[in-house]
Amino acid sequence: MSSPGAVALVADDHELFRAAVSDLLKRDCGFTSVIEVGSLDEAMQVLGEHPEISLASFDLAMPGVGNATSLRSVREVFPKVRVVVVTGSGGREDILLALQAGLHGYVPKTLGISEIANAFRTVLAGSIYVPSAVTELPPQSAPPAVPVPARLPELTGKLTPRQQDVLRLIRCGRSNKEIAIALGLTENTVKVHANALYRALGVHNRYGAAHMADPA
């Protein structure tokens, strides 16, 4: 259970589901306040403005999130926040990506209300939650290595529209602050998108992203 006065964040583009999760967190997990948003950009804005947030729930299908890997940067920028995916997908690959990204829980929306509440309580208690069904699936063999493409049109297919915006401005030599102003975002949000696109492109920094994206 959370401590008195605790604040949570629910990020989901489905208004009714946001309200349901918000009520559950207040009723069953002890949160006094829950902030609701509909996109990753809004979530990053709120996390930057409210350092008291201790738990953040994200839907994978909402704007700005390509898969669980996109949320790794949320963990890096806000390391004290417990980050949970609550989504319609129960696929093994998505669950493994969430664990690899360092997220604290993966909760399928198909679970019952009591099960979802228990999942949140597990995460708040300091443990990692994944659905029990994942242990019943056969082991997944390692996927074959895929060579990194070297042309901008091919590369951008891996990125969300917002990540493409950030990449375009990185290639123009803009700083994170300048990109934030140009796109109407916070610097923290730009950092999240930048880190996610670096991983998608297989590079370590903005120089690598700009150089790889530059047509030969």
CA 93 from chain center: how many Å? 15
Summarize pLDDT for 155-196 with one digit per residue, the tens: 556 778 888 888 888 888 888 888 888 888 888 888 888 888
Phi-psi region of 172 (alpha: psi -120 to 50; beta: other; left: phi over 0): alpha
Q: Are 123 and 79 part of one and the same domain? A: yes
pLDDT exceeds cutoff 90 at 115: yes
Domain count, the chain: 2
Q: Are 97 and 191 part of one and the same domain? A: no
For tokens 């839907």, name the residue. 59
Summarize the confidence of residues 49-75 as an average pLDDT: 87
Q: Are 39 and 76 part of one and the same domain? A: yes
Q: What percent of the chain has pLDDT over 70?
A: 84
Summarize pLDDT for 1-36 with one digit per residue, the tens: 655 569 999 999 999 999 999 999 999 999 999 999
Q: Are 109 and 158 part of one and the same domain? A: no
Which of 136, 168, 191 is the last residue before a domain boundary? 136
pTM exceeds cut of 0.95: no
| Domain boundaries, position 29 | 7-136
The pLDDT, as a whole number, for residue 71 is 85
